[in-house]
Structure 1
Amino acid sequence: MPIENLARSDVVTAPEDESVEELATRMDESHVGSIVITDGDEPIGIVTDRDLAMRVIGDGMDPSEATASDVMSEDLATVDHTAGFYRATELMSEHGVRRLPVCDDSGELVGIITFDDLNELLADEHMQFSDVIQAQRPEY
């Protein structure tokens, strides 16, 4: 199944000059753990709640002066919208990330897939598999 069918299309985004304070507020209001930093429709970085804790608070930055570009991860791993489930898990493992922005053929952001989304999908698949086995089991 293509990632585009699994990914969330309601990605929270921000420009690289957005303040860290605003990023934190938006994460809280949107109930997300990351914000994809974009230049137009192209993802150029990501800021996670961990980035805010480690790079802002941990490094003693002034949150009122720091911007997304100061704390974002720039070596952004993305996944093509036509890639499959296994490719997404490979990329997450290779890059040590829990979130992958999903891009279309022109490199524009179309969604995001998270480790938790993939785990939820696996749990659903296991449940369906269990139901099939239970239905096929003879009664004694």
Structure 2
Amino acid sequence: MNTGSICTRDVTVCGPQASILEAAQLMREQHVGDLVVVETIGGRRVPIGMLTDRDIVLAIVAKQANPEKIFVNDVMSSPPALVNEGDDLWLAASRMRLNGVRRLPVVDTEGALAGIVSLDDLLEAVSKLVSELWLVTGRQSHIEQKNRA
């Protein structure tokens, strides 16, 4: 299983020159807590940063700054920690841990945005694997009984 197989393909994005107010409104409209900040390079959307609702609270709200006069590129985390579509889930989890993030943009072989993978996505995939492994123990005795009958 790789990150491309579990990531969300419909990613909410913004450009680095959007105001924080515009970014916050976009988050609210799309019901998301983060935006992948992209630039279009050679016709491809390339991730250059991440902006989270927490970034907005810490950099704007807590400092009582004007969200209309501060731009995404002033607040975003850059460069973003990324994973490739073909990377396995262990690498994604490790990258999240090392970078202290809960979400990673997923890129294709050319570096274009392909999706986003979250900690919740990883937990769901791992829980499905653990459930499947648990079923092995019950199935093993059933097969043994069937073969010996």
Q: Distance in 1 between matches of 2:141 and 2:71?
A: 59
Moved more, 104-113 or 22-31: 22-31
Cα distance, 1:82 vs structure 2:
0.9
Question: Match of 2:121?
Answer: 117
SS of the residue 1:37 aligns to: strand
- Give the superposed CA RMSD: 1.7
One-letter amino acid matched to 1:23: A
1:74 aligns with 2:78: yes
Question: Match of 1:39?
Answer: 39
Aligned match for 1:102, one of 99, 106, 118: 106
Equivalent residue runs for 1:1-140 within 5 Å: 1-40=1-40, 41-136=45-140
Q: Deviations over 1:72-106 (max 9, x none)?
A: 00131101111101110111111111111011111
SS of the residue 1:60 aligns to: coil
TM-score by length of 2: 0.85
Cα distance, 1:45 vs structure 2:
0.4
TM-score by length of 1: 0.90
Q: Percent identity?
A: 33
Q: Distance in 2 between matches of 1:122 and 1:2?
A: 12
SS of the residue 1:129 aligns to: helix
Cα distance, 1:132 vs structure 2:
3.6
Aligned length: 139
